[in-house]
Amino acid sequence: MNQRDNWRADLETSRGLSQRQKEQFLVVGNWFESWRLRAGVSPGVPAARAFWKDQVLAKPREQWQLDQWEEAMRWYLNWLAVCQRDGGTGLTLAERLKTAVHRAGARRG
């Protein structure tokens, strides 16, 4: 596991999940990433909690939805912990490029 900052690739190659789970987790992960990028927050537990409160609990949900989405978020947060342990950030490619451009600009003055 962990193709360094690429949770989608790691999800696709995960051997512990069925194809159906992978598809469900992908939907939830994309939903979370989209929300996180719009909110301008870094990946992590605080972002996941804010997402859950802002998006998931914002309207009534079926228990099976909450259970599936919770499992997907748990997978993502476990992936993120491994990613960070291995020196990754969990940031998207776009976020990493933006950071690199800002750093280069700061060095140039």
Contact 51, 32 (CB under 8 A): yes
Write out pLDDT tens, residues 56-90. Answer: 999 999 999 999 999 999 999 999 999 999 888 77
Write out pLDDT tens, residues 10-46. Answer: 999 999 999 999 999 999 999 999 999 999 999 999 9
Task: Read off the pTM.
Answer: 0.81
Single-letter code of the amino acid located at 5: D
Q: What is the pLDDT of residue 2?
A: 45
From the list 22, 51, 57, 24, the residue with the least C-alpha distance to 39 is 51
Work out the mean pLDDT of the chain and round it to a whole number.
Answer: 88
